[in-house]
């Protein structure tokens, strides 16, 4: 059989190679976050130090669900809920909680990707600018 046109070749190839169903989402491997060496809080973007101060003033609250906290301005920050560390990117055995870095003008305003994750037991803290894809430990805590 001689194929004279590229479209015929593509059709024959498509018929000869069946399409397999996609793997279920749970079977697709995901990339682990990159945990970079610790830095002092002064070496992070300025909003990280402000967030540390804000959450320290609020007493690093812990709640079973995320809570919006009103700040002067008015502004709101959300956090205090458990962070499960299901990916295992942070040290195992921690009691982690997540906290927003940047305030929002209203509780219904969409949150951005920046978070602090803090071990409530040790006080160790990590910053993620990309919603848990990469972590950087704050060497002197937060």
Residue 26 counted as domain residue: no
pLDDT digits (tens, 9 = 90+) for 37-94: 799 999 999 999 999 999 999 999 999 999 999 999 899 999 999 999 999 999 999 9
Query: Does any domain span residue 113?
Result: yes
> What percentage of the chain exceeds 90 in pLDDT?
70
How many domains, in total, are found in the chain? Answer: 1
* pLDDT attached to residue 13: 37
Which CATH number is 73's domain given?
A: 3.10.450.30
Q: Which domain holds residue 120?
A: 33-84+96-142
Measure Cα distances from 129 to 20, 62, 115, 119, 132 in Å: 37, 22, 7, 18, 8
Least confident of 1-15, 49-63, 119-133: 1-15
Q: Is residue 91 part of a domain?
A: no
**32 — pLDDT class (breaks 50, 70, 90):** low
In a domain, 17, yes or no: no
Residue 90 falls within a domain, yes or no? no
């Amino acid at each position: 059989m001689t194929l004279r046109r590229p479209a015929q070749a593509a059709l024959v190839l498509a018929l000869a190679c069946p399409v397999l169903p996609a793997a279920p989402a749970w079977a697709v491997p995901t990339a682990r976050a990159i945990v970079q060496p610790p830095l002092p809080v002064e070496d992070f973007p300025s909003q990280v130090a402000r967030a540390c101060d804000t959450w320290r003033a609020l007493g690093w609250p812990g709640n079973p669900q995320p809570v919006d906290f009103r700040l002067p301005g008015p502004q709101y920050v959300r956090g205090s809920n458990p962070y499960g560390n299901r990916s295992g990117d942070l040290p195992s055995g921690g009691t982690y909680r997540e906290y927003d870095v940047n305030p929002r003008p209203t509780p219904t305003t969409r949150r951005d990707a920046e978070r602090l994750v803090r071990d409530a037991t040790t006080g160790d803290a990590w910053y993620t600018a990309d919603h848990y894809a990469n972590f950087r430990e704050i060497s002197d805590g937060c």
